[in-house]
Structure 1
């Protein structure tokens, strides 16, 4: 189930072929008809980015990237194979300010990279689809809601007003490759007269050892005969409202899902049977996750199925910063290496981008816990901008809907280093919080994934957010501040959701023995070691 609005059993075709990219000066073309015939047309992969298209055409060097947010980017495609009639155009991710035109008429304006759209249209045959990604760069200097602080790690400050990834905007931490383009799939959907929509799945592992699976949905069929199947068990759906049906299945002999370091990541196939037709709903696992705060209330440890887990892993950035891919094949090599290295948790930080359900399906299968930050980091985000807060609500709901059955989702976190940034600039505690991480996100999490612990920020807890001896810490004492390894114990770190404990460069003789690399004092190292601006 990829989208909230998509119908089960609907005919869906990916619009991935025949796209061309044209770059124009900002505002030079208001509509597709304004694009000059002399413009350079570049074949473009979809889903994909401007960086990926230019790189494939030999026009972009990721080692020396040029700004990609200073020009308008047009994506054009002729839908030659689409039959006339009613359809739905589905856009799963457009980065970031995007106007969508069908046959020259604007049908959508999207201003969030993290929300999907489904637009009903009527096709006439041979239709032209055009997407214009307006240059974000000039917009970043526009005045917006006044911020109480300005972060040092991310530039420019205007990014706080737009729902887009911070990848490409953190000098020293990642290359300056800007995310522009249809980074997630575009497809055409034709619904059947009878539709099944808004499928909600919840798997619970009770302390008694019983698994409880709840599925609800909407169907416009007249008295449909529907049942839910999980493993060898089946349960008919009951009508609970107008076109609303629900089924609850209890499994007494359930095998729980475990991280691979502690057991088997057992998954169960889910199937909806409607009037004799089977529709796969994917897989889920049954597990219980709790947080142990310790006797003093300052601890933070995960309990999976009642067993205390020592979480070890790494922070995920992206499979490829130029392409921002989201397919299973892009993720699998990295995630399997992580498991082979003994990791049992992956953290997706708030400075990155949401990954697709394929990422979580792999973590479910492999047995990797996922700590998921929502995409908020360091900034003092708008507090009273209704449009901005509406985007926040939509992106949180859509993300959680896509991973609603995923047992690997272990922690949901409001964002990264917002509290820490404010505290380090000397602001009092009442300034650290905001409605995004303290009100909007936790309310949606409580409704859609009550089985997953929520924390407002990372780091979090203690008198100051950056104190490692309470709650969640970002610990850099050994790796960044060159303290002895014993400091990792003396600092009394409770839970490090981010750490560079052992990130030292090897000795020169080790490098020479195994790798053809420059001496450790070479400036080439700085180009490849993430760091804060101005830090060595």
Structure 2
């Protein structure tokens, strides 16, 4: 029997602090920051410059306490089960220390039967300062590169708690996952690990079970639905065969049937999950270019239209199933079929992976190592092994999970970031990535591929971020140069690349209150964590629009610039399929309101870049690309049906006059890419600053401009706009009286909850587009037609 112990908790500082001297109610699951915030003892760390005002919390020890009732019921064992303690914890029951923990990423179980007493029992958990613990271990083991201010590589805790180039320094402590008493007799299921394979028309499930009992007596373990059972003393395997199972597919490739699996020790314990039947492998076949990196599901190569996932909140206990569903729904609505769970965060809750199972989203799962050299000595080594074994066992039932990845950027860092000179002969984590972790995966989950890192060239003999081998990260673009630098790369698989832009206006102005509001105000800068981030945005704006002086225009230009960067990069990489087999944009989401690479901001709103992602990740993509000294129309058909079409290509003046035209016959097979050459009379404009190519197909329109916006003669934007009510919101109609580039309706400037169905639409003179705005707010429709709401690229370069 499982009894949650979530009621009646309090928290207080357990070490000297001048900030708080009070016992306050605590929420479990939760953390000290949210408890202090609920008690009104700290300001909201997500607002203004409050992050700095709460920095003392991570330097303080905290004590959580509660009282619970318990009566003996004749059970052989009573365990205190802690699913998540963050992080350096001492656990006491009735004043007796029953356990200590040093790892946020794993659960713990303590036998408390002899410590409990009938009636009231006192449970206390004291959390030591994570910063102090990590600093002390660094002194013991020797410093290693990684972490700007805090040695997060010396503690098994969510690394981005200590600050990142998109995240604040909010170093948490607390009971962040459920805590319960579990009473049992005779035996219990210590672990269940179903490994699913497919051979021909048969689905095979090897159910690995471990049984715990006080006397290691044999017990019957049954896979209930199949009525298959075995007698197990400590561990065993029950094999189940399913004839002609329906296969699980990634979204866009088929359906996602799931099968219930129940394992039980009759009368004592049970385990339930869902499984899916599919095969997955990572094709890393050498070829005449280098080494492939292609996901193959059910023997079908899959182009990964991916996004990187970070923790959706600095306080992850606040992320529930509904929030996972909403955020991952935003991913699928944008055409995403793969999410990479980045290694500086957490192993997400089962709700995350179950949502991916149902949605057909492939999951690339990093082990939790990021951007640092990690010691391989004890006590870190033992914790790494324990957490990896627990994570693999817990997550292996999920058909969406298709890759275990050793680390984020650590092998690359060793080669490129000056680590070798700093490390000398000290360990830095390579033994984890090339030995310990692949052995754990091979032992516990041989049904899935393992990759040593991201980026990784698949060989210690090849530079780890080589574009021709394996997966690569592209960060010289953004850090050193403009996004047109993407055109210099044809990666086999781009597992990280991205460009920054500010959050929605409503998110920005909720969190930042500089007066006047400027890109370089103190609160604005506090919500920009990238080194020289605002300067890098301005550098890129200079290449395309110039840097607007007015904040409203700078804001729109920076958002549009991020969207343009993603469009250019993704369309370029997709145009090289199957040589390039995937793109994983950095990043889908934010954990707080911030200027960052995310396409969904910290308040959950879709930035213009989200709409760019949706367009670039369309099942059928038509894009104009430079090829062999000229231009080509590249057709990407990522569907299961062949595509026959006639593609119209027109070179037009900005006034709408057709200057040259060409019809191209399109015939491209399923999951194929085709290239159609554009004739010189279309690709060589008479007036590069006043002409464009317009490509029309059944999949939509693609436009090509021959110069950056600042060098175009874009007209002052002239248009008619009107707004009217509809069920659930409003319609905004825009009719072009001049060429309009990248029309957007920034509806959240009028209503915080407002979402627009589309954005970044280019109109020729005389054309009309209808936007649908969904909002629960009753407002004057005319507000949606205002000059800071309806935006175009023209406004940034023409004085419109």
Class of the TM-score when normalised by the shorter of the 2 chains: 0.7 to 0.9
Q: Distance in 1 between matches of 2:466 and 2:9?
A: 51
Shift of 1:192: 3.5
Gap change, CA 1:134 and 1:186, over 3 Å in 2 = same
Distance (whole Å) between structure 2 residues aligned to residue 388 and residue 353 of structure 1 = 17
CA distance in 1, matches of 2:267, 2:93: 38
Structure 1 pair 106–433 and aligned structure 2 pair: CA distance change class (3 A): closer
Which secondary structure does the structure 1 equivalent of 2:84 belong to? coil
Aligned partner of 2:663 in structure 1 is none
Q: 2:392 matched to which residue of 1?
A: 400
Return the offset for 1:358.
Answer: 2.0
Q: CA RMSD in A?
A: 3.3
Residue from 110, 123, 128 that aligns with 2:122: 128
Q: Secondary structure at the match of 2:411?
A: helix
Conserved 8 A contact 2:189-2:269: no
Q: 1:127 to 1:533 in 2, by over 3 A?
A: farther
User: How many angstroms does 1:494 deviate by?
Assistant: 1.5
User: Counterparts of 2:169 and 2:334 in 1: how far apart (Å)?
Assistant: 30
Distance apart, 1:408 and its partner CA: 0.9
- Partner-residue secondary structure (3-state), 1:138: helix
- Alpha-carbon distance between aligned partners in 2 of 1:331 and 1:21, rounded to the nearest angstrom: 28
Looking at structure 1, the residues matched to 502 and 21 of structure 2 have their Cα atoms a distance apart, in angstroms, of 48
Query: 1:276 & 1:134 partners in 2: Cα distance?
Result: 41
Residues in 2 aligned to 1:399 and 1:138: alpha-carbon distance in whole angstroms: 27
Match 1:493 to one of 491, 494, 509: 491
1:451 aligns to what? 447
Residues 138/26 of structure 1: CA separation in 2 closer, same or farther (3 Å cut): farther
> Does the alignment pair 1:40 with 2:22?
yes
User: Is the CA contact (8 Å cut-off) linking 1:372 and 1:412 kept in structure 2?
Assistant: yes
- Aligned pair in 2 of structure 1 residues 377, 323: CA closer, same or farther (>3 Å)? closer
The aligned residue for residue 8 of structure 1 is: none
Structure 1: distance between partners of 2:504 and 2:260: 50
Counterpart for residue 285 of structure 1: 276
Alignment of structure 1 residues 84-233 onto 2, 5 Å? 86-122=77-113, 123-124=116-117, 125-142=119-136, 143-147=139-143, 150-151=145-146, 154-156=148-150, 158-206=151-199, 208-218=200-210, 227-229=222-224
1:329 is paired with a residue whose SS is: helix
- Kindly indicate whether the alpha-carbon contact (under 8 Å) linking 1:154 and 1:166 is maintained by their aligned counterparts in 2: no
Q: CA deviation at 1:81?
A: 5.3
Give runs of aligned pairs for residues 267-306 of structure 1, distance below 5 A: 267-272=258-263, 275=266, 279=270, 281-294=272-285, 295-296=287-288, 297-306=290-299
Q: Does 1:440 align with 2:439?
A: no
Written as runs of structure 1 = structure 2, the 5 A alignment for 1:319-398 is: 319-325=312-318, 327-383=320-376, 385-398=377-390
The residue matched to 1:465 in structure 2 has which SS?
Answer: coil
SS of residue paired to 1:126: strand
Alpha-carbon displacement from aligned partner over 1:168-217 (angstroms, at most 9, x marks no partner): 323532011112111111111011445344322111123x2421111133
Q: State the 1:533 CA deviation.
A: 6.7
More displaced 10-residue stretch of structure 1: 392-401 or 427-436:
427-436
Q: Does 1:80 align with 2:69?
A: yes
What per-residue deviation string (whole Å, max 9, x for no partner) do you get for residues 274-326 of structure 1?
65999552100011111122424522111111111111222212232134445
How big is the shift at 1:223? 7.6
1:346–1:171 distance in 2 versus 1, CA, 3 Å: closer
Counterpart CA distance in 2 for 1:366 and 1:39 is: 47
Give the structure with higher Rg (CA): 2
Once residues 310 and 520 of structure 1 are traced to their aligned partners in structure 2, the CA distance between those partners, rounded to angstroms, is 41
Q: 1:144 touches 1:161 (CA, 8 Å); kept in 2?
A: no
TM-score, reference length from structure 2:
0.58
Give 1:23's aligned residue. 13
How far the C-alpha of 1:102 sits from its partner, in A, is 0.8
Corresponding residue SS for 1:215: strand
Find the residue that maps to 1:439 and give its secondary structure: helix
SS at match of 1:302: strand
Return the alpha-carbon distance in structure 2 between the equivalents of residues 416 and 246 of structure 1: 34
Q: Contact between 2:2 and 2:181, CA under 8 Å: does it hold in 1?
A: yes
Aligned 8 A contact 2:472 2:491 in 1? yes
- Where do 5+ consecutive residues of structure 2 fail to align? 536-800
Whole-Å separation in 2 of the counterparts to 1:467 and 1:339: 30
Greater RCO (Cα-Cα under 8 Å, separation 6 or more): 1
Question: Which has a greater percent of helix?
Answer: 2
2 CA distance for matches of 1:81 and 1:411? 44
Counterpart in the other structure of 2:626: none
Specify whether residues 25 and 528 from structure 1 end up closer, same or farther in structure 2 by C-alpha distance, changes over 3 A only: same
Contact 1:412–1:453 (8 Å) recurs in 2: yes
- Judged with a 3 Å threshold, the aligned counterparts in structure 2 of structure 1 residues 226 and 166 are, in CA distance, closer, same or farther, namely closer
CA separation of 1:268 and 1:426: change in aligned 2, threshold 3 A = same
Note closer, same or farther for the CA distance 1:249–1:167 as it changes in structure 2 (3 Å cut).
same
SS for the counterpart of 1:98 is: strand
The alpha carbon displacement at 1:46 in A equals: 0.7
State whether residues 472 and 494 of structure 2, in contact with CA within 8 Å, keep that contact through their aligned partners in structure 1.
Answer: yes
Residue 124 of structure 2: SS of its match in structure 1? strand
Following the alignment from structure 2 to structure 1, what is the Cα–Cα distance between the partners of residues 532 and 407? 21
Structure 1 unmatched runs, 5+: 1-10, 29-37
- Separation (CA, whole Å) in 2 of partners of 1:316 and 1:209: 35
Cα deviation for residue 470 of structure 1 reads 2.5
Q: Quick check: 2:189–2:270 contact (8 Å CA) kept in 1?
A: no
Alpha-carbon offset, residue 404 of structure 1: 2.0
The equivalences for 1:217-256 within 5 A come to: 217-218=209-210, 227-229=222-224, 234-239=226-231, 242=233, 244-256=235-247
In the alignment, which residue of structure 2 is the partner of 1:5?
none
Question: 1:235/1:453 Cα in 2 relative to 1: closer, same or farther (>3 Å)?
Answer: same
